[in-house]
Structure formats: C-alpha cells, structure tokens
Amino acid sequence: MKVKLDHIAIAVKSINDSIKLFESLGLKFDDHREEVVSQKVKTAFCKIDEFSKIELLEATSKESTIQKFIDKKGEGIHHLCFRVASVRELQTKLSQKGMNFIYEEPFIGAGNCLVNFIHPKSANGILIEISEKLK
C-alpha cells in the first residue's frame, strides 16, 4: 500500500468560524461533526481531493491538548496525518530506530482509524499522525 497524505489538521478556537474561511476558498465541509472523547476534541472534515482532507480541531475542554496548543502557540497547523498499512508495524519499526511516539499504544481516532503520533522531537518539529483504516 502506498502511503498517502490523509489530512492536515488545524487547531482552531471555533470550527464554525473557521469553516467560513475555507468555504470562502470554495471548499465544502461535511456537516458531520465527530467528537473524539478520549482526546477532548470535536472534528470537522473537508475533502481536498479524492483522498486528502483538512481536519479542523476544536477543544471541548480546557484539559484538551488542542486547548493547550492554542494557549501556547495560537491557532494553526497542529499535525500532518499519513495513511499507512499498519500503525503497529510502523510504530515498532520506527521505535527501533529511536523515534518517540506520544502514546505507547495506538488508539481509535476519528473515522474509525487506528492512530498514533510521532513526537515532534523525532520529526523535524512536526507532529505526525500515522493512521490505519479499520474495517
């Protein structure tokens, strides 16, 4: 399986306000909002092409990592996500090379995907999500 860019995630204060910006560019967001309870975030997706998306992330609690990100850096690009064949296999391989992951174990993220995040310190300062679509 070829690795693809799945989405670019942007931390925003308000999904509804941010959507207006992207819709003014001619993009169309899904009406569906998904809450990832474990991450204390609400998400909205917009297709860019047949595969890649923009994901808007809004905190649902002050304890959310998205709220902490916005408090520290302001709104902006939060992470890139790549679709891979197997999150667990890739995590094992990269960990053996000394790369650090945010979570010890992958977890279920938005859209029924198994995900984990490579620590920015191991990835040129970029938070990278790796994602595997579950059946």
> Interface with Zn ion by CB under 5 A: which residues?
9, 81, 129
Residues 6+ apart with CB under 8 A from 129: 6, 9, 79, 80, 81, 82, 109, 115, 116, 117, 118
- Our CB check for Zn ion shows the closer of 12 and 98 to be 12
Nearest-CA neighbor of 115 among 135, 98, 132?
132
**Residue 68 CB, nearest distance to Zn ion (Å)?**
16
**Residue 80 CB, nearest distance to Zn ion (Å)?**
8
- Rounded to an integer, what distance in angstroms lies between the CA atom of residue 71 and that of residue 52? 28
- Our CB check for Zn ion shows the closer of 57 and 94 to be 57
Through-space distance between the first and last CA atoms of the chain, rounded to whole angstroms: 16
- Our CB check for Zn ion shows the closer of 9 and 44 to be 9
Residue with tokens 């408090």: 71
CA atoms in the 13 A half-sphere facing the CB of 100: 9
**Residue 106 CB, nearest distance to Zn ion (Å)?**
13
- Our CB check for Zn ion shows the closer of 9 and 19 to be 9
**Residue 28 CB, nearest distance to Zn ion (Å)?**
19
Coil vs helix vs strand at 71: helix
